[in-house]
Homo-oligomer: A and B are copies of this chain.
Amino acid sequence: MKLIVKRIGFSSGIPQVIIDDSVAEALGVKPHDRLLVKYRGKEIVAEVNVAKEVPSSSILVNEEVWGGLELQEGAEVEVLACEPPLSLRYIRDRLKGIRLGYDEIKTIVKDIVAGRLTEIELTAFIVSYHNDKMSVDEAYYFSRAMVETGRVLGLDRKPILDKHSIGGIPGDKTTLLVVPIIAALGYTIPKTSSRAITSPAGTADRAEVLMPVDLSVEEMKEAVLKTNGCIVWGGALQLAPADDKIIKIEYPLSIDPFFIPSIMAKKKSVGATHVVVDMPIGMGAKIKNEEEAYYTAREFIEVGKRLGINVRCALTFGEQPLGYTAGPSLEAREALQALRSIGPKDLIDKATGIAGLLLEMVGLQGGKAIALEALKSGKAERKLREIIEAQGGDPNVSVEDIPIGSKKFILRADKEGNVIRVDNRIIAHLARLAGAPRDKGAGVVLYAKLGDKVNEGDPILEVRAEIGSKLRIVEKYLENVKPISIGRIHEQMLLKSISVSPVVGGEIYIIR
């Protein structure tokens, strides 16, 4: 059938067309089926959308079709129904509970990268792995296929060290210390990081306070060759790009069945040979207990082995934020202070602990002491300033140069006692309500952490915002939640009673 194209003027990630329902019937296609669209020797496969108001001689095309076929307004294209891609067959197999082999997975990953799967198909595929966990084989196949369908850094060095935190606790600025410690000791650590999705700051957001992080692969490579390290945003590098499309589906559903291949593919694509995976454990963290941590660690290690990456998992305390701050600028300040050994003990302990593990993996003994010495001697701070300069930032930046939100609200203890609980989720939400990560100066400063003794009226937490109206939303939110609980353990047993379905944004408490 021949149809006249009309440009819609927006892109949706995959090629899509809109046709009238009478045209769809004549072509024998339904919504979400596929059409082959041909124009001057070029062809493209597009997802079908059906509408009622489209002239029956027309086909509306999005930017992917428009650009892919190099169309002009009013061009006549040939369209015909076409078979779904082979990967849909494999996705249907997966929905039947069948395990996939490397060839099937490679085919699917290729089609994900090329945008040949519809949102429905990709969602079904991802959810199927949420409900029926990926095998180690599959996790390895996905990691490999994701690397093979993207760019690689291609550093001609060995060993290449790397670290990754599976996240979940606010204020975790460990990477800002680990990268310069490792690089200062002469080892290569080409770190890519993500921006915050649901947290107040991702490592890329924190680092961006100090230096540009939107580097190209070439710029990243140059920085690493010069300084041994970098901290760049991984989102635009096209390293394992399938991952980015998968995350877009996982995010609104709050699930992450692909997290092991996602992480391992990114590590492989920078050529990592030794990786420490930081796994914070706690009620308010992603991993709830040690047993779960061991299970996940085994998978990381196993997948790493097959990819030729030596992996160690570090189980870390995740019951409260790391250090005393959450929010990009507050955290960048705290990291700079820690590099001068005046930062919080838990942050320094964790950063040197993880750096130490990496050093021991490449053959050194007493890794943590070596890492601590690199910090105390000022070598790590000097290295961070080198990296800042290599990435295009100001190497002389000081804590005072980093502005933080001028509006503040202080929360005070409503009674005397000890801090018995710090709620990661509420703290993260507070910082986001205050404007983080978009408002870099917004965030939360803690005055009291687990076990600390407080008197009634003592400040226990401060929220910083750049915009006054956001601070008022914070104050309103604080009327109903307790980010920091004070009391004596085993005295207050009934936390809350549940009578109806919890509403969105509400917290579920446990009666124990």
Contacts and interface: CB of A to CB of B under 8 A. Distances in A.
A502 B89 contact: yes
B127 A505 contact: no
Interface size class of A (residues with CB under 8 A): 35 or more
Nearest to A437: B28
A89 B248 contact: no
A270 to B, nearest CB: 26
Interface of A: 8-12, 18, 25-26, 28, 30-33, 49, 51-54, 60, 63, 83-86, 88-92, 95, 97, 101, 103-104, 118-121, 123-124, 127-128, 130-132, 197, 248-249, 251-255, 438, 501-505
Given A92-B253, A119-B119, 14 more contacts: A9-B60, A10-B18, A10-B51, A31-B248, A51-B63, A84-B252, A84-B504, A85-B504, A95-B255, A97-B131, A103-B501, A120-B249, A123-B124, A128-B130
B119 A127 contact: no
Contacts of A119: 119-120, 123
B501 A104 contact: yes
Nearest to A130: B95
Contacts of A52: 11
A10 B197 CA distance: 31
B438 A253 contact: no
A84 B253 CA distance: 11
B25 A504 contact: no
B95 A25 contact: no
Pick the most buried of A18, A438, A504: most chain B CB atoms within 10 A of its CB. A504
A367 to B, nearest CB: 38
Nearest to A90: B501
B131 A28 contact: no
A124 B32 CA distance: 16
A89 B505 CA distance: 9
A7 to B, nearest CB: 11
A249 B52 CA distance: 20
